[in-house]
Amino acid sequence: MRIDDLVRQAWRPLRVYKLRTSLSLLGILIGVAAVIALTTLMHSASNSVDSRVESLGTNLIVATMNPLVGASNNQHDMTLGQAQKLGRLPGVSDAAPVDYETTAVSAGSRNAPVTLYGTTPHLADILQYRLAFGRYLTAADVASHLNVTVLGAQTSRQLFGRVNPVGRQVMIDHEPYTVVGVFAAKGAFLTVNQDAIVMTPITTYQDFSRIASIDSVYIQARQTAHLSHALDAVNRQLTAWFGNSGRYTLLTQSAILSVTQQITGLLTHVLVGVAAISVLVGGIGMLNVMLISVSERVREIGLRKSLGAKRRDLLMQFLVEAVIISLSGGILGVGAGVAASLALTSRFHIGAAINPAVPVLALAACVVLGILFGIYPAFRAARMAPAEALRCD
């Protein structure tokens, strides 16, 4: 029997039993849609996280002091002078000391929760912040302990709407600060909203917090080729000051990127594995429906065999039926999965990154699934004796 005849012969009962056919392909549809949607979402999220890590700054090294170790060893903390000295080490271009806390800033009757950073002018360049209005902090601001601040994009909108706030005042811990600049929108990194921030001179921050120690130092190597050289120099200097590597933690941009990629990769495998199980369950549902179809069409099978249909013809007919059901479910699932992917990535404000290979592999898997779960019902139909099939009620 020619392939077009097989397809027509297999398609006819599928049109007659619409409800049964719909139930058969529904499980495949849901499973394929889940695989594509979850794969795309995790791939898009991974790309977004990678770009956000890269936006933290190029050739980045972050030195963070460990207060618990410092307390247990009764060692001194890092000072502002030591933090600035790290910027003069071989292979290092800039270093910005950072102290921070979560607080609230207000302007008139409006309030905004923020992360307040005390830092120096180098931090904006290291973390690649761009200005929308005004200027950034200057060395004179730091030297004079001025009450000036640069607002994040979201903080500026919450306090002043769309008005340029440069020159206006905000209240931080009951102290007035003059706004000298506003950052352009930068977005969120993991759980950190990089637009809900306020930056002040590190000296001003230390004055009102009465804390002279430095929590972290953001360090930028001169070039990517110098990153390991700069990292070694920073490590040697911190060890010379604090005696042991447990007193501080050093992180590089590549290390952060590696960790985030491992996390997103693991989540992708877990979620796709769960979605693949739903495809398998859909295949089992299709097997059950195909077996019911064979039992309900016993007389049809007997009549066809008595009129000369060969076992191979019946085998191929039921196999083609199973493949049509699974492939139809796969095609509809691809459409639903792409639509769900676009909706989810739009909801989470990340760019959709649909891998064309995923829908193709999903459709190929549907064909294989149709053959695997359709072969037993097909063999059962093909092995029926014509006389017994015709006697069946």
CA distances from 338 to 37, 297, 311, 330 (A): 6, 37, 40, 12
CB 286 within 8 A of CB 293: no
Pairing of strands 110-119, 197-201: parallel
> Mapping DSSP to helix (H, G, I), strand (E, B) and coil, where does residue 307 land?
coil
CB 227 within 8 A of CB 61: yes
> Mapping DSSP to helix (H, G, I), strand (E, B) and coil, where does residue 212 land?
coil
CA distance 18 to 6: 19
CB 216 within 8 A of CB 36: no
CA distance 95 to 22: 64
User: Within a 13 Å sphere around the CA of 155, how many CA atoms are in the beta-carbon half?
Assistant: 31
The DSSP H or E segment spanning 346 is helix 311-347
The greatest distance separating any two alpha carbons of the chain, rounded to the nearest whole angstrom, comes to 104
CB count within 10 Å of CB 37 equals: 24
Q: In 207-321, which ranges are E strands?
A: 216-221, 248-252
Q: pTM here?
A: 0.63
> Mapping DSSP to helix (H, G, I), strand (E, B) and coil, where does residue 6 land?
helix
**The length of the chain, given as a count of residues:** 393
pLDDT tens digits, the chain, 393 residues: what are they? 556 555 565 556 566 666 777 777 788 888 888 888 888 888 887 777 777 666 665 588 889 888 654 444 445 688 999 999 999 998 888 899 999 999 999 998 999 999 999 999 999 888 888 999 999 999 999 999 999 999 999 999 999 998 999 999 999 988 999 999 999 988 766 556 788 999 999 999 999 888 888 989 999 888 777 788 888 999 889 888 887 657 788 888 777 777 777 877 787 788 778 777 878 887 887 777 777 777 666 666 666 666 666 777 777 777 777 788 888 888 899 999 999 988 888 887 777 888 888 888 888 888 888 888 878 777 776 666 665 655 555
Phi-psi region of 128 (alpha: psi -120 to 50; beta: other; left: phi over 0): left
Q: Which residues contact 110 (CB under 8 A, 6 or more apart)?
A: 158, 159, 160
The DSSP H or E segment spanning 302 is helix 298-306
CB 324 within 8 A of CB 14: yes
CB count within 10 Å of CB 102 equals: 9
